[in-house]
Amino acid sequence: MSIKTTPHLNFRGQARAALEFYASAFGGEVTITTYGDLGMPKDLPGADGVVFGQVETAEGFRVMAYDVPGQSEKPVEAASPTRRENGTTITTQPFFVSVRGESFEEVEAYWKKLSHGASIVEPLAASAWSEGFGMLTDRFGVTWSLDVASVPAA
């Protein structure tokens, strides 16, 4: 048996823009089905909202998203819900989306694209457990943790 876990992000009218942004950062194919595609009359408010959306790459990156029904677009707050204080990460978020790569160069390339318009929680740099680790909250309010997979000690 095989099982995969995929983060499913909830938006308020920004799912399409978020999925397209994530595809620009990680590559892959965007798949979007709207409420109108599933029978909602196209002239009703929200018919163009995303009911099923996904970005998937051949390398294994995958994220899903949708627009919460009946919710209008809510601007992302300027302040990040995650911050550093006295060397500790403080957050009000119930989760982070974690992306782990095999080399610093690979992770840095994702970081550069994902950080456009983001609030940096912790800059991408070497850490005690990884050749590279960084954390940011993107322009859609999602907090990402990016790091280089460490080699286990012998």
Q: Which is higher by pLDDT, 23 or 44? A: 23
Q: pLDDT averaged over the chain?
A: 90
The total of other beta-carbon atoms located within 10 Å of residue 87's CB is 5
At 15, is the secondary structure helix, strand, or coil?
helix
pLDDT at 9: 96
Between residues 154 and 100, the one the model is more confident about: 100
Give, rounded to a whole angstrom, the gap between the first and last alpha carbons of the chain: 30
- pLDDT at residue 42 greater than cutoff 80: yes
What is the per-residue DSSP string for 97-128? EEEEESSHHHHHHHHHHHTTTPEEEEEEE--S
Residue 79 or residue 146, greater confidence: 146
On whether the CB atoms of residues 91 and 107 are closer than 8 A, the answer is no
Query: Pairing state of beta strands 97-101 and 143-148?
Result: parallel
Q: What is the pLDDT confidence band of residue 78, given thresholds at 50, 70 and 90?
A: very low
> Among the listed ranges 73-77, 81-85, 139-143, 148-152, which one has the minimum average pLDDT value?
73-77
| pLDDT tens by residue, 91-140 | 777 789 999 999 999 999 999 999 999 999 999 999 988 999 999 999 99
Cα dihedral: 68, 70, 75, 80 (round 10): -40
